[in-house]
Amino acid sequence: MIVGNRKEFGEILEKLGTARRVLVLGCNECVTVCGVGGEREVGVLASELRLYWQKEGQDFAVKEHTLERQCDYEYIDAIRPLTGEYDVILSMACGAGVQYVAEAYKPRLVIPAVNTTFLGVTLEQGVWSERCQGCGSCIVDMTGGVCPIARCAKSLLNGPCGGSSGGKCEIDRDTDCAWQLIVDRLTESGQMERYEEIQPVKDWRTGRDGGPRKRVREDLKL
Amino acid sequence: MRLNYPSNVKVVKVPCTGRVDMLLILKAFESGVDGVYVAGCMEGECHYLRGNLRARRRVEQVKKLLDEVGLGGERVEMFNMSASQGQRFAQFAREMTERIRSLGPSPAKKNKEVLP
Ligand code: SF4
Ligand code: SF4
């Protein structure tokens, strides 16, 4: 899923500027699961804003609404009647959702309330960890199911580097060295011969380096 | 026991403090209360194992939020007591009432939301 962090309240206030009619817009997908932008978090942020403006003795209107998804036009379009009544939309979706809402409701101001951070997994309730950087050409079959691009600090394809020690990465003691994990997994599964294969320089054009990506599936089109 | 505690304290019953979500506390402040405290069972004695420990973490989080918003985190607190400790219940009610009195009324009462 896509994982993010809620922005600090102070930063959100700053971005809102003089706007006092605010639609706080959540998303029911990834950001709900990682506890950053679902219905509940919309409630918390809306409550913070209300308490702040009540305290400041200002007039305001804060509306809470959560969409099934902010990355599909059908859902976004459904709130068109609602949006006209507010100065800004404070989106709690990932960056993709924020942008799609902004596109649908231009020239209305759309403000992100979340810092979108990574593609990852839930390690336990309340703890998430990065797993993939969407490089567009997956190689984890070669690396024991561990992604060296997302999980090695240097994204090394032939690791480890000299900083690997006691299974940990040199960036900090709490971070596993991805290449230690890879070697362990390959050993466990009797695939160490894969480790001997030198990975050539990766063609990053399938990733972000090739520019913004777009996918078209003619067979799925209406 | 016929113990007295300040009459300004309004009790909201929940099956376990684990039910107390951040939103419940924030909503109480939105409705105009001056302070909120959560009275949970003793740590280690939760019937649902970790309800009171979770409540404490949520109270800590609400403290941060109230600080950010400018109401002050001291307006919310978590206390632990067992069901048989009426004395303690009354004592915390007095302590919290005194604390809130010294802080004064919640500044979030100045204005009501103007609905669209
Ligand atoms: S190799 Fe690429 S696609 Fe596969 S997990 Fe890593 S970043 Fe994601
Ligand atoms: S210590 Fe391991 S994870 Fe860290 S940069 Fe080196 S190879 Fe990558």
> pLDDT (tens digit, 9 = 90+) per residue, A57-105?
999 999 999 999 999 999 999 999 999 999 999 999 999 999 999 999 9
Report whether A131 contacts A120 (CB < 8 A): yes
- In short, whether A152's Cβ falls inside 6 Å of ligand 1 is no
Q: Identify the band that residue B115 occupies on the pLDDT scale cut at 50, 70 and 90.
A: low
pLDDT reported for residue B110: 72
Asked if the structure places residue B66 within a domain, the reply is yes
Would B103 be classed as within a structural domain?
Answer: yes
- Domains of chain B: total: 1
Do the chains contact at A58 and B115, CB–CB below 8 Å? Answer: no
Q: Which of B27, B68, B112 would you mutate first to test chain A, the one with the most A CBs within 10 A? A: B68
The confidence band for B34, taking pLDDT boundaries of 50, 70 and 90, is very high
Looking up residue A77, the CATH number of its domain turns out to be 3.40.50
Which residue, chain included where needed, has tokens 């609602």? A82
Rounded to the nearest angstrom, the minimum Cα separation between A131 and chain B is: 28
Q: What is residue B33's predicted lDDT score, i.e. its pLDDT?
A: 96
Task: Tell me which of B30, B75, B113 to substitute to probe the interface with A (most A C-beta atoms closer than 10 Å).
Answer: B113
DSSP-based three-state secondary structure for A111: strand
Domain that holds residue B71: 17-114
Could you tell me if residue A214 is inside a domain? no
Q: Does A137 touch chain B (CB under 8 A)?
A: no
Looking at the structure of chain A, the number of domains it has is 2
Closest-lying ligand 1 atom to the alpha carbon of residue A151: 6
Facing A9 at nearest CB: one of B68, B112, B116: B68
B111/A53 CB distance under 8 A: yes
Range of the domain at A47: 2-118
pTM of the full structure: 0.93
Give yes or no for a contact between A89 and A23, defined as CB atoms under 8 angstroms apart: yes
Report percent pLDDT > 90 for chain A.
100
The pLDDT assigned to A181 comes to: 98
E-strand spans in chain A?
2-6, 21-27, 61-67, 88-91, 109-112, 114-124, 127-132
Q: Is the CB of A138 under 6 A from ligand 1?
A: yes
Cα separation, A74 vs B18, whole angstroms: 37
Asked, for residue A46, whether it belongs to a domain, the answer is yes
Structural domain includes residue B25: yes
The token duo for A120 is: 């990852």
Q: Is there a domain that residue A222 lies in?
A: no
The radius of gyration computed from the CA coordinates of chain A, to the nearest angstrom, equals: 22
Residue A10 and residue A112 in one domain: yes
- If phi > 0 it is left, if psi is from -120 to 50 it is alpha, else beta; for residue A144 that is left
Q: How would residue B116 be classed by pLDDT, with cut points 50, 70 and 90? A: low
- Do residues A89 and A108 make contact, with C-beta atoms less than 8 angstroms apart? yes
Stretch A154-177: mean pLDDT: 96
Whether residue A98 is found in the same domain as residue A150? no
Name the residue among B27, B70, B114 with its Cβ closest to that of A47: B27
* A28 & A106 share domain: yes
Residue A219 domain flag: no
Contacts of A44 in chain B (CB under 8 A): 22-23, 26, 65
What's residue A164's pLDDT?
A: 97
Sign of CA dihedral B9, B12, B16, B17: negative
Residue pair A177/A164 in contact by the 8 Å Cβ criterion: yes
Within 8 A of A24 by CB-CB distance, chain B residues are: none
Is residue B59 a part of any domain in this protein?
A: yes
Q: In terms of domains, do A67 and A137 share one?
A: no
| Residue A124 located in a structural domain | no
* Chain Cα centroid distance, residue A112: 12
Q: Are residues A40 and A142 in the same domain?
A: no
Residues A51 and A155 in one domain: no
Cα angle, residue B11 at apex, residues B9 and B16 outer, rounded to 5°: 140
Least Cα distance to A94 among A56, A59, A63, A67 occurs for A67
Residue A210 lies in a domain: no
Among A118, A144, A165, identify where a domain stops: A118
Whether residue A220 is contained in a domain is answered as: no
Same-domain check for residues A92 and A17? yes
Give a yes or no: residue A112 inside a domain.
yes
